[in-house]
DNA sequence: AAAATTAAGTGTATTATCAACATTTAATAT
DNA sequence: ATATTAAATGTTGATAATACACTTAATTTT
């Protein structure tokens, strides 16, 4: 018994690619880098890397995200395994894609510059290497599905935020508008928001109340599931 | 440029494991085999195999399913990539799991016997090798989610079937009962069923009408999505 | 100090969907 | 002719989703 059984079978390079989502108040953004490796070096790409024998695939994904952003303990979920023969012209590489949700201003700017990384609006994507555009498309669909059934703003919004910011996030994710009254009623009825006494004054004279998430209730609904959309 | 860039990185064995669902009128079943390979040879297992360099991962999954059942052009969907370090005691193997939906009596019985395969009720699973039980659990959750948003009976039921058979399928998938009147109304309102003039007489004196799927409408709703549960 | 401005905050009526519930009907067997 | 069996079918109340417009708080301007 042990580690000699499977010698005869083919072995594969395993890449891990990360679709990193962020929200800056207007559009939904993805964090893209200039690819540092041939082939296609210098072109826009998702952040990625190769998995190593001494780590799980989840760990590889976390490592790659940390490497780019300096962040750990980030919301991350496996998206899909892309295994077509010719997806990478540099060789047979099977890629496992993960998507992550981060607060857009929490990442380490030095690291971002190191990788020539930029937040790019999903509606203005440049040409991307390999099948990375397809990955982003799938990730966005998964995010929509996720957000329909789970609270998710916590990961993408600053600690305190206004109802309009939250609505803007949902509108960016679903690329549609919501009725302010219905949206407010729905989201407040979930009981995951706590209103602060503080107001955001930059964008109106009256000012909009800040809210924070009730972490306990949020976590509960995150596992139970909700019906949001 | 070309196929020499990535030499330095680690390479992995890639397994493909198939969760094959079937429905026999009462319970939801999975097709399990007696594992033919050390380690754990002789124990119950999902049907699986190693991916080869000359095929896509999707193709590998289709090959493995064909190999066991003799069936091709089967409904199949990638489930998840399992990449933990010690999931397989025989070596570092990353497994990509697929789930398939087949008509339970369509498969090639000789082939099934060759692999000592059996249809086993999901509620009576024996101990399984590695993380295969976890795979089945996840596959069942995905199936529930799938069925909530897409018509799916077509793949699991015989060509013609009664409303009660269809309801029994849904009840098996969701492990709950539905009100017959509400279920019938809902499913008929989708407009994907065509009633035949023929009746099934085995289980009642009155007889229950057979239905078939309206393939065109079915395919349309399959891509558009529905709200079933 | 009054008026104007700006976006925030809020309520109601209508419609559609979901859930609960029991009787009648068609065909065969006695 | 009667009994039996499972199939087929409708209504009502509750809940959720949608559509829609005015009032309020605070600042800025006159």
Q: How confident is the model at residue A5 (pLDDT cuts 50, 70, 90)?
A: low
Q: Which domains does chain B have, with CATH numbers?
A: 13-134 (3.90.79.10), 153-224 (1.10.10.10)
Q: Alpha-carbon distance B116 to B127, whole Å?
A: 16
d(CA B61, CA B76): 8
Q: Are A217 and A188 in contact (CB under 8 A)?
A: no
Nearest chain A residue to B59, by CA? A84
Is B124 within 7 A of strand C by CB distance?
no
For B157-187, give the DSSP string. Answer: S-SSEEHHHHHHHHHHHHTS---HHHHHHHH
Adjacent-strand bridge partners of A97: A17, A80
Q: Can you give the distance from the CA of residue B98 to the C1' of nucleotide D17 in angstroms?
A: 37
CB of A207 lies under 7 Å from some atom of strand C = yes
Residue with tokens 């306990």: A216
Instruction: For residue A39, give the nearest of B1, B38, B85 by CB distance.
Output: B1
Instruction: Give CA–CA dist B95/B227, Å, rounded.
Output: 32
CA distance to partner chain A, nearest, from residue B107 (Å): 27
* Chain Cα centroid distance, residue B200: 26
CA of A201 to C1' of C3 (A): 22
> CA(B187)–C1'(D10) in Å?
17
SS3 B44: strand
Phi-psi region of B125 (alpha: psi -120 to 50; beta: other; left: phi over 0): beta
Q: Is A167 helix (H, G, I), strand (E, B) or coil?
A: helix
B171, exposed or middle or buried, with CB in 10 Å at 0-12, 13-18, 19+? middle
A78/B54 Cβ within 8 A: no
Q: Is A55 exposed, middle or buried (0-12, 13-18, 19+ CB in 10 A)?
A: middle
- Comparing C-alpha atoms, which of A33, A55, A27, A68 is closest to residue B83? A55
Q: For residue A153, with 0-12 CB atoms within 10 Å meaning exposed, 13-18 middle and 19 or more buried, which class applies?
A: buried
Q: CB of A221 within 8 A of CB of A149? A: no
* Pick among A83, A84, A89, A145 to test the B interface (most B CBs inside 10 A): A83
pLDDT tens track for A53-87: 999 999 999 999 999 999 999 999 999 999 999 99
Which 166-205 positions of A have CB less than 7 A from strand C? 180-182, 184-185, 199, 203-205
φ and ψ at residue B20, rounded to 5 degrees: -105, 115
Q: Which residues are bridge partners to A91 per DSSP?
A: none
Token output for A187: 């989201």
The pLDDT profile of chain B, 229 residues, written as one tens digit per residue, is: 444 468 899 999 999 999 999 999 989 999 999 998 889 999 999 999 999 999 999 999 999 999 999 999 999 999 999 999 999 999 999 999 999 999 999 999 999 999 999 999 999 999 999 999 999 999 999 999 999 999 988 899 999 999 999 999 999 999 999 999 999 999 999 999 999 999 999 889 999 999 999 999 999 998 889 998 8
**CB–CB of B48/B95 below 8 Å?**
yes
Provide residues 130-169 of A with CB closer than 7 Å to any strand C atom.
Answer: 162-164
Q: pTM of this prediction? A: 0.94
* CA A143 / C1′ C15 distance in Å: 30
Residue B78 to residue A81, Cβ atoms within 8 A: yes
The secondary element (H helix, E strand) that includes residue B196 is strand B193-200
Helix (H) or strand (E) holding A30: strand A28-34
């Amino acid at each position: 018994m042990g580690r000699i059984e499977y010698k005869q079978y083919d072995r594969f390079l395993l890449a891990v690619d990360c679709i990193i989502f962020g929200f800056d108040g207007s559009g939904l953004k993805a964090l893209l880098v200039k690819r540092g490796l041939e082939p296609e070096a210098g072109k826009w790409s998702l952040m990625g890397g190769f998995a190593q024998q001494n780590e799980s695939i989840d760990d590889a994904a976390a490592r790659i995200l940390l490497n780019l952003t300096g962040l750990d303990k980030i919301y991350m979920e496996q998206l899909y395994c892309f295994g077509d023969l010719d997806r990478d012209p540099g060789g047979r590489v099977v890629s496992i894609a993960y998507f992550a949700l981060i607060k857009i201003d929490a990442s380490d700017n030095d690291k971002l510059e190191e990788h020539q990384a930029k937040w790019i609006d999903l509606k203005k994507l440049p040409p991307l290497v390999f099948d990375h555009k397809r990955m982003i498309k799938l990730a966005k669909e998964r995010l929509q599905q996720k957000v329909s059934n789970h609270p998710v703003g916590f990961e993408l919004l600053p600690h305190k935020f206004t109802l309009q910011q939250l609505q803007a996030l949902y509108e960016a994710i679903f690329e549609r508008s919501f009725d302010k009254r219905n949206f407010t009623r729905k989201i407040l009825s979930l009981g995951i928001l706590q209103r602060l006494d503080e107001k955001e004054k930059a964008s109106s004279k009256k000012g909009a109340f800040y809210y924070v998430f009730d972490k306990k209730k949020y976590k509960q609904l995150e596992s139970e599931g909700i019906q949001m959309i």
